[in-house]
Structure 1
Amino acid sequence: MMNITSCPAEADPRDRVAGFVSDRGVGSIGGLRTDGLDFLKDIVIKEISEQEPDSVMIYLDRDFLCDHGIDFGRDLTKVMDSMTSEGKRVNWIVMQDLPVMDWQKSLDVLKGRDTQVYFFTTACRQVPCCFKLIG
C-alpha cells in the first residue's frame, strides 16, 4: 500500500515546485487557498513539462475512464499496465477522487516502473495540495 505524508501546510508553492517534481519519492506540496486547486495543478504540470519534456502526461479523469471503458479497478489496472509498458515515462494527473471503487489499488501495477501519479485534492480547511503516490 502507499505511504502518504501528512497534509501539507498552506504555503506559496512556486519556490518549492521544482524540488517537489524532481524528487522521485513520495511527497506532497500545498498551495494557497486564495489561489485554489487549479493554480497548484497548473504550476505542477508546467514544472513536469519543463523537467520531463519527453514524458507522456495522462489526465486520469471521467473522460479517460469513459474513453477506455473503465468501470472497475481491474479495468484500470489493465489500462495502466498497458500504458506504462511502452517504454516512455508516464505522469498520471488525477484531479480529486475517481468514480472507481478502490482505484488506488490499481496503482500497485505501477511500482518499479518509470511513472508517477500526481493526485490533486483539497486538504482540511480547503488547502489545495498535491500528493505523489508512487515511491
Structure 2
Amino acid sequence: MKILSRAPFSFLGNFAAVAVCSAMVSGCYMVPIQHAQVASNQAYAPVAVMAVRPIFTARLYPTNDIAATAGRITGSISNPERGQGEFAFVMGGENFVGEATRAPNASKGTANAAGNRGAYAKCTYTMSNATLGTGGCVFSSGATFDLHISQ
C-alpha cells in the first residue's frame, strides 16, 4: 500500500518539475529581429518604367509699356511629346492654359493660351536645338513679350 500512496505524489512532483523546466527554457528562446529571406524559384515579371517626360520652362519678358505692368512671367510647357504640349502660366492673377505645337522635325511652332477671365495669348517660337528656343507673344490686351524656352 505504501507504493500506491507514493505514486500520486511522485507524479505531481515530476509534473511540477517538468513545468518549471519548460517555463525556464521558454524564457531563453531567441526571436530573430529580421526574418530570413526564403529563396524563390519564381521568375519576376519585368515591370515597365515610365520615362520621365520633360518639362520646359517658358519665360516671358515684357517688350512694351502694357506688358511692363505685368513684369516677367514664368510658365511651363509640359508633356511636349510628338510636337504637342500643354502651355500654362499665370499673369496678373489670371490662369492661362493652352497648347504649344510644332510639326514633326520642325523648329518653328506656336503656343496659344486662354485665361480664366477671358484674356488670351498667341505666341510663335523657334527651337534652336532640342532644349532651347525663342519667340514672341502678343496678348489680347496689346501686351507683347519676348518668349524664352529652355529645359
What's the TM-score once normalised by structure 1's chain length? 0.25
Q: Max radius of gyration: which structure?
A: 2
Task: Give me the TM-score of the superposition, normalised by structure 2.
Answer: 0.23
More helix by share: 1
Higher-strand-fraction structure: 2
